[in-house]
Amino acid sequence: MTRILQLGIESNWHLQYSDSFPAVSYLNDSAGKPIYQRITEINIPVVFDKPIIAVSVNTTVPVGKVWKYAGYLRRSLTTGLGASFVGEPESLFLGKFNLVVFDDLNINYSLSIQVPKWFISANIAVYQYEGADTTTLEDDVQAIKISLGI
């Protein structure tokens, strides 16, 4: 059974959330440079209902540094007992659209993102895939029926 998706069509993706998060500067070090408080875990205030999303995380990288890691993404479900995390955290790459395909559940979910402690700002965008998401199961069943003469 093959899954049929149209990920390359821009109109199949809808922006669900976008925001910027600056770190708070609270002191200066001995050289007079600001010391930043870590950006806390970012809870995305959107309920998602599709299993395919794309997440983009961007920040200003200091001159001379090479950063590729952008933190991790966690999915949570609301149960009768409260919010429960589902699955392993997904690692995110900086400056890329991170495609995340969750196991197909018929339940809505929420997301949270934790960026690395050295980020002094984070720009987050989350897109949900709204395009065709089908399988070849019906075609396979029809081919079996034809083979059996049903």
pLDDT per residue as tens digits for the range 19-62: 999 999 888 888 888 889 999 999 999 999 999 999 999 999 99
Specify whether the CB–CB gap between 14 and 128 falls below 8 A. Answer: yes
> What does the pLDDT average to over 96-113?
88
In this prediction, residue 105 carries a pLDDT of 66
Which letter, b or e, does each residue of 31-48 get, where b requires 16 or more Cβ atoms within 10 Å of its Cβ? eeeeebeebeebebeeeb
In the predicted structure, residue 14 carries a pLDDT above the cut 80: yes
Q: Which pLDDT tens digit goes with each residue over 129-142?
A: 998 887 777 667 77
Closest CA to 17 of 122, 118, 95, 126: 126
Strand partners, 128: 14, 53
Phi-psi group of 87: left, alpha or beta (phi > 0 → left; psi -120 to 50 → alpha; rest → beta): left
Measure the N-to-C terminal CA separation of the chain; round to a whole number of Å.
21
Whether pTM > 0.85 for this model: the answer is no
The number of angstroms, rounded, from the C-alpha of 7 to the middle of its chain's C-alpha atoms is: 15
In this prediction, residue 98 carries a pLDDT of 98
- In a 13 Å sphere around the CA of 24, the CA atoms on its Cβ side amount to 4
Which token pair is 29? Answer: 């070090």
**Ordered domains of the chain (ranges, CATH):** 12-148 (2.60.120.1300)
Q: How many CB atoms lie within 10 A of CB 1?
A: 8
Could you tell me whether strands 42-48 and 69-79 are parallel, antiparallel, or unpaired per DSSP bridges? unpaired
Within 8 A by CB and 6+ apart from 98, the residues are 54, 55, 56, 57, 70, 73, 90, 92
